[in-house]
Chain A
Amino acid sequence: MGKTLFDKIWDAHVVTEIQDGPSILYIDRQFIHEVTSPQAFTGIEARGRKVFRPAQITATADHNIPTMDQHLPIKEYLSAFQVEKLKENCARHGITYYGLGDEYNGIVHVVGPELGYTQPGMTIVCGDSHTSTHGAFGTVAFGVGTSEVEMVFASQCIMQPKPKRMRITINGELGKGVTSKDVILYILSKLTASGATGYFIEYAGSTIRNMSMEARMTVCNMSIELGARGGMIAPDQKTFDYVKDRKYAPQGADFDKAVEKWKQLYSDADAVFDKEYSFDATDIIPMITYGTNPGLGMKITDKIPSLASVDPATKETFVKALQYMGFEPEQQLLGKEVDWVFVGSCTNGRIEDFRLLAAMLKGRKRAPHINTYIVPGSYLVEKQIKEEGLDKIFAEADVELRQPGCSSCLAMNEDKVPPGKYCVATSNRNFEGRQGPGARTILASPLTAAAAIITGKITDPREFL
């Protein structure tokens, strides 16, 4: 029987299997950031050890940092302390660290691919659930807890039971104004926020093949929202072209050799998955969420489900979510006034996302009551925004471009949405309080976000195309 893509990579990294237990899995690269690493450093130091393979670890400060005045010291004491700790810890253990102001700083899942750290066939972990983003390159990449961060510090390995495999196939051409974000929100609305728990997903089909690397990253990014361990896409010419010539990618003849190996990374025709789903791309239109988990989403033109139509087992969650959001069953959200728009995060904070935003904002203006957080995913993204002149389009639309970071995705810095206010966000989570206590998040694509900036309301972006 053939092997799945997942199995090929996983099996090549198993040091040993413990009977009736997890495998010891070798990790090619670990990314770390300021929030989930300090306790792991304290842990291994308490054991009297140094980091085992510092060259295979990369650090960036992203979660806590302000997105204005980054040249000044961080004002908030605890954030400043955490970032300072990361810098010290990295220096002490010989780990490359991209701090504030560094030309390669940015959100960890944006930086990894753009510097060529992320390469097909790798195992990658980070103390961050959206590590699944790197799966777009045909890697086994997943989020881990701080204990596991410490395991990698100590041994470059973690202990993991092997997940089951799921394949989600999407075929067909996406309509105008429909993005990869809509694809993953659509899948979430079908499978729910726990629909893939215990699985590792491979995304396949012509719709995925036709996506750019950026778009693929958006899909893989939100695998965790389905409850999956991670998500991945078999590498192809687009993948190789993206990786080529990146700073830490293999160069020259080494690159050609690597590509030969990477070409073996696909699921064999007779490989068997534990579960399979397939969807038709032509059924997907722009999507939004209406609840407080990413599975509670719908087509932008739909109405929120009626109370009678929800599964009785989840009714309580549904009612509670609508209460928090201030919505009613069967309400239509098109035309609903919103207060904030956030464009950024590791889901939609890459150059393509800002191109989409700029294309729609060009020649138009922000609705006066709308507040925005427009936040590039990295310094390199910011640089490219400026090179392409997108920042001028934003300025003309009366929209302010901020500096890179996680920002309002989890609002650990000042970029909060006030209590009770509605925010159309291109990030990945709409949990209660995610963008600040009491904030109400509506997840959507960069195009839908752009449309909301212009009209001040939830608006079908296809109206502007």
Chain B
Amino acid sequence: MAIEKFITTISRVVPIPIEEIDTDQIIPARFLKATDKKGFGDNLFRDWRYDKNNQPIADFPLNNPKYSGCILVGGKNFGCGSSREHAAWAIADYGFKVVVSSFFADIFKNNVLNNGVLPVQVSEAFLAKIFAAVDANPATELKVDLVNQTITLIATNESEGFEINAYKKDCLLNGFDDIDYLISKLPEIEAFEKKYKG
């Protein structure tokens, strides 16, 4: 059950310049009743995307035809709140491959990584630049290069490096997942247990 391999991505972006976007907004609790991982994309940002009568709110970025692409850009402390992995499934299911922010909540970061979506943490300044560039020209493209760990505003060639731990990077590049890895380590885990439980 490997995840999809991550390759260098060049794409337009969907900007949501709001801070503290919590996972209750990304996927409200009432949509957590499914027992598989599919279909959550339909309800991604449900309450910001649709009004009370289920009509799309025209100027919400996901509904605005100006914006497209597989890179989601959000304000600081993206993904805070509940640990629900459904938020990551919704983002992946919608078709995003990359989420950019100046700060990610811990559990969320792990969750997207475990679903083949790359969280790219940039500086406040660079984030502001992305928002400004997309505001000026919605067709602005970003390039995300995982091998070299860089993110670039293509039009101006402005670039910034980002961090990712070597193990996770390897997993994404090769489409491995942690569970296969842990299963391969079961003998070691059993040996540890023996010692630990005495």
Contact = CB atoms under 8 A, between A and B. Distances in A.
B58 interface: no
Given A20-B167, A198-B106, A316-B19, A147 B192 contact: no
Contact of B179 (A24, A154, A320): A154
B19 A145 contact: no
A19 interface: yes
B33 A64 contact: yes
A227 B108 CA distance: 11
B196 A36 contact: no
B85 to A, nearest CB: 4
Contact of A147 (B76, B115, B186): B115
A150 B189 CA distance: 16
A207 interface: no
A174 interface: no
Interface stretch (A90-98, A342-350, A431-439): A431-439
B115 A39 contact: no
Q: How large is the interface on B (under 10, 10 to 19, 20 to 34, 35 or more residues)?
A: 35 or more
A159 B178 contact: yes
Interface in A408-428: 410-412, 419
B43 interface: no
B85 A146 contact: yes
A329 interface: no
Interface string A151-176: 10011111101010000000000000
Contacts of A465: none
A250 interface: no
Residue of A43, A145, A159, A163 with most chain B CB atoms under a 10 A cut-off: A145
Nearest to A89: B35
A317 B18 CA distance: 7
A372 interface: no
B85 A26 contact: no
B1 A26 contact: no
19 contacts: A16-B192, A18-B167, A20-B165, A24-B188, A44-B179, A49-B183, A52-B186, A64-B33, A78-B33, A82-B33, A145-B110, A145-B114, A146-B111, A198-B106, A313-B76, A317-B20, A411-B29, A433-B25, A437-B47
Given A15-B188, A21-B166, A155-B183, 12 more contacts: A20-B165, A42-B35, A78-B34, A145-B83, A145-B84, A147-B115, A155-B182, A193-B80, A227-B106, A410-B82, A412-B33, A429-B81
Interface of A: 12-13, 15-16, 18-22, 24, 26, 35-36, 38-39, 42-44, 46-47, 49, 52, 63-64, 78-79, 81-82, 85, 127-129, 143-148, 150-151, 154-159, 161, 163, 193-194, 197-198, 224, 227, 229, 293, 313-314, 316-317, 320, 410-412, 419, 429, 431-434, 437
